[in-house]
Chain A
Amino acid sequence: MADTGAAIELVDLTKHYPGNPRPSVDGVTMRIRAGETVVFVGPSGCGKSTTLKMINRLIEPSSGSVRINGEDVTGLDPVKLRREIGYAIQSSGLFPHMTVAQNIALVPRLAGWSGRRVRARVTEMLELVGLDPGEFRDRYPRRLSGGQQQRVGVARALAADPPVLLMDEPFGAVDPVTRGHLQDELLRLQRELRKTIVFVTHDIDEAIKLGDRIAVLGERSRIAQFDTPEAILAHPADDFVSAFVGTGAALRRLDLTRLRDLDGTGCPTAHQGEPIQQVRGRLRASAADEMLLLDRRGRPLRWLRREDLAHTEGPLTEAGTPVGGTVTRDATLREALEAVLTDSAGRVAITGPNGVYAGAVHLEGLLDTVRGLLAADRRRAREHQEELEATRPGPTLPEAEEVTAGRVEGDTAGRPEGQAAGRPEGEAAGRPQGQAAGRPEGDAAGRPQGEAAGRPQGGAAGRPAGEATASPAGSGATGIPEADIAEEPEGDAVGSAG
Chain B
Amino acid sequence: MGFWDYVGSYRERLLFDAYQHASAVLQCVVVATVAGVAIGVLTYRREWAAGLATATTSAVLTVPSLAMIGLLIPVVGLGVAPTVIALTLYGLLPVVRNAIVGLRGVDPALVDAAKGIGMSRARRLLRVELPLAWPPILTGVRVATQMLMGIAAIAAYASGPGLGNEIFRGIASLGSANALNQVLAGTLGIVVLALLFDAGYVLLGRLTIPRGIRG
Contact = CB atoms under 8 A, between A and B. Distances in A.
B132 A82 contact: no
Q: How large is the interface on A (under 10, 10 to 19, 20 to 34, 35 or more residues)?
A: 20 to 34
Contacts of B127: 95
Contacts, number: 68
Contacts of B210: 97-98, 140
Interface in B159-182: none
B11 interface: no
A97 B131 contact: yes
Given A58-B112, A87-B113, A93-B109, A79 B213 contact: no
Interface of A: 56, 58, 79-84, 86-87, 89-91, 93-99, 106-107, 110, 140-142, 156-157, 166
A93 B110 contact: yes
Given A89-B113, A140-B212, A95 B128 contact: yes
Contact of A96 (B114, B117, B120, B132): B132
A83 B112 CA distance: 14
A58 B113 CA distance: 10
Contacts of B45: none
Contacts of B131: 97
Contacts of B212: 96-99, 140-142
5 contacts: A56-B116, A58-B112, A93-B113, A95-B128, A97-B131
B8 interface: no
Contact of A95 (B114, B115, B118): B114
Which applies to chain B's interface (DSSP): helix, strand, loop or mixed? Answer: helix
Contacts of A56: 116
A483 B92 CA distance: 82
Interface string B105-129: 0000110111111111001000110
Interface of B: 109-110, 112-120, 123, 127-128, 131-132, 210-213
Contacts of B117: 82-83, 86-87, 106-107, 110, 156-157
Query: Which of A84, A86, A95, A110 is most buried by chain B, counting CB atoms within 10 A of its CB?
Result: A95
Contacts of B113: 87, 89, 93-95
Contact of B116 (A89, A99, A110, A140): A89
Query: Which of B118, B119, B210, B212 is most buried by chain A, counting CB atoms within 10 A of its CB?
Result: B118
Contacts of A95: 110, 113-114, 127-128, 132
Contacts of A82: 115-118
Nearest to A140: B212
A80 B118 contact: yes
A87 B211 contact: no
B118 A58 contact: no
B54 to A, nearest CB: 26
B115 A89 contact: no
A94 B119 CA distance: 14
A96 B213 contact: yes
Contacts of A106: 117, 119
Contacts of A80: 118
A55 to B, nearest CB: 11
Contacts of A83: 117-118
A84 B119 CA distance: 12
A390 B119 CA distance: 41
A80 B117 CA distance: 9
A156 to B, nearest CB: 7
Contacts of A87: 113, 116-117
B116 A58 contact: yes
Contacts of B128: 95
A98 B131 CA distance: 10
A7 B143 CA distance: 55
Given A89-B116, A91-B109, 19 more contacts: A58-B116, A79-B120, A82-B117, A83-B117, A84-B118, A86-B117, A89-B112, A93-B112, A95-B113, A96-B212, A97-B131, A97-B132, A106-B117, A107-B117, A110-B119, A140-B210, A140-B212, A142-B213, A156-B117
Contacts of B123: 110
Contacts of A166: 116
